[in-house]
Structure 1
Amino acid sequence: MGSEDLVCASCSGLVIEGRCPTCRASREYLRRNSVTISPQLILAILAIIMMLTALAVRHAT
């Protein structure tokens, strides 16, 4: 379930639509506290995994 599926208890609308002040406050809170992974971070993680794999293969032979 993503944050776009949350329903507001005050107005029974989707929080992502921001129909009432409670929705807007919740949407802003979710936006500030969401974790995002940048493409650069993904590439760095992949590069580290590839290097560790190469070292493991080299060490095994």
Structure 2
Amino acid sequence: MTCDRLVCASCAGRVSEGRCPVCRASRQRLEQQEGAFAALTPATLIALLVALVAVALVAHGLAA
């Protein structure tokens, strides 16, 4: 999840702008929770899965 579209309940501003201490704390917490795959879009994940299946099929075909 990104903080681009989140609205702060304290100041009614975007969390990404960090207008108040609540926004800044929420933004920092979200940034810490992001893992290695957080920046990947669903389309990218599907493409990686298709590529992995293709490699597995080719490897299986070469082994037979």
- Quickly say closer, same or farther: Cα 1:31–1:2, change in 2 above 3 A: closer
Q: Which has the higher contact order (CA 8 A, sep 6+)?
A: 2
Which residues of structure 2 form unaligned runs of 5+? Answer: 40-44
Aligned residues: 53
Q: Where does structure 1 differ by over 6 angstroms across 4 or more consecutive aligned residues? A: none
In the superposition, the TM-score normalised over structure 1's length comes to 0.65
Name the structure where helix makes up a greater proportion of residues: 1
The structure whose Rg is larger is 1
When the two structures are superposed, what TM-score results if normalisation uses the length of structure 2?
A: 0.62
- RMSD between superposed Cα atoms in Å: 3.1
